[in-house]
Structure 1
Amino acid sequence: MKNIFFFALAVILASAAGCAQKKVPIEVDSAFKIKFSNATNISWDKENDHEYEAEFQICGAKYSANFSDAGKWLETEHVITYNELPQAVKQNFIATHKDTKVKGVAKIETSIGSTNYEIEIKQLFGTKELFYDINGKEFQDGDSED
């Protein structure tokens, strides 16, 4: 009986901890509502100690947006189709990853005004994300030259 009690208590505490991570600072929530007033199906995750990510939809399209814990908008990712990529991005991708299967594509807009693209590809053991600037130049995540 004691074991059942402790198990139940552990489940309740774990659930409470999970719920606590979904809460975001008022600054983050307010900034999100101002920037994406027409968003639906919103769910939050804590990206790291100082950043929150919202996943949501606008008119049925999938988005995610990152905010600092102070409420500063950092970036937005919008799921797009491969055909919506700029021609320069498609040309460079085909030249360097010709026979690679594409799993997903996103357009990334950042707070510094740059627009980049992410192509998620299938690999033998999992997936890999490739990043391109608007001119088709591939870069490592975090190394954007904008």
Structure 2
Amino acid sequence: MRNLKNLPVLILSLLMVACSPSNKKTPTTVKTAFEKRFSKATDVEWSMENETEWEAEFELGGKEYSANFSVEGVWMETEHEIEEAEVPVRVKNTLDSAFAGYMIEAIEMTESPTGAAYEFLLEKGLSDIEVVISSVGKVVKTEVIKEDGMDDDGQ
């Protein structure tokens, strides 16, 4: 009898898990677009970024990547971590002059239909910032990362 009392809770829990966005099946259009663009990718894992966007995390050429596609299968962006030595001189010069004194915690190269950019997580004392610099050396974005690990947008 005690088990029957828990049945509604169990059913509700199962329905919530089954209907959650992460359990939705990746659309064929998205998978096809991904396979066309990244035919040599391995260890692909899909997740919903939001209601209109899918993200694939995968390996390619010994590096870990993520790529985002709209639900219609349109490629939106690709990101992967890089080493400081891989940063173009023009970008590095901007970083060094505009953010002197900051230490680089992480670097990602981002490619999108509008071009390439370099995302830096920088630290100086207790201050962490995220900086995006275009491939031509222009600072595109600077965002303070709060101490609780969240950015100014609460993410």
User: Which structure 1 residue ranges, 4+ long, deviate > 3 Å from structure 2?
Assistant: 2-11, 17-22, 122-125
Q: Secondary structure at the match of 2:26?
A: coil
CA contact (8 A) 1:22 1:43 kept: no
Aligned equivalent of 1:119? 120
CA–CA separation in structure 1 for the residues paired with 2:72 and 2:132: 27
Aligned equivalent of 2:32? 30
Q: Equivalences for 1:21-100 in 2 at 5 Å?
A: 21=23, 23-100=25-102
Query: Percent of aligned pairs with the same residue?
Result: 32
Q: CA RMSD in A?
A: 2.4
Q: How far 1:26 moved relative to its partner?
A: 0.9
Superposition TM-score, scaled by structure 1 size:
0.80
Structure of higher RCO (CA pairs closer than 8 Å, 6+ residues apart):
1
Q: Which runs of 5+ in 1 are unaligned?
A: 142-146
Matched positions, count: 139
Q: Secondary structure at the match of 2:108?
A: strand
Q: More displaced, 47-56 or 13-22?
A: 13-22
Q: Which runs of 5+ in 2 are unaligned?
A: 143-155
Which letter maps to 1:92? T
Superposition TM-score, scaled by structure 2 size:
0.76
CA contact (8 A) 2:104 2:122 kept: yes
Higher alpha-carbon Rg: 2
CA–CA separation in structure 2 for the residues paired with 1:21 and 1:72: 21
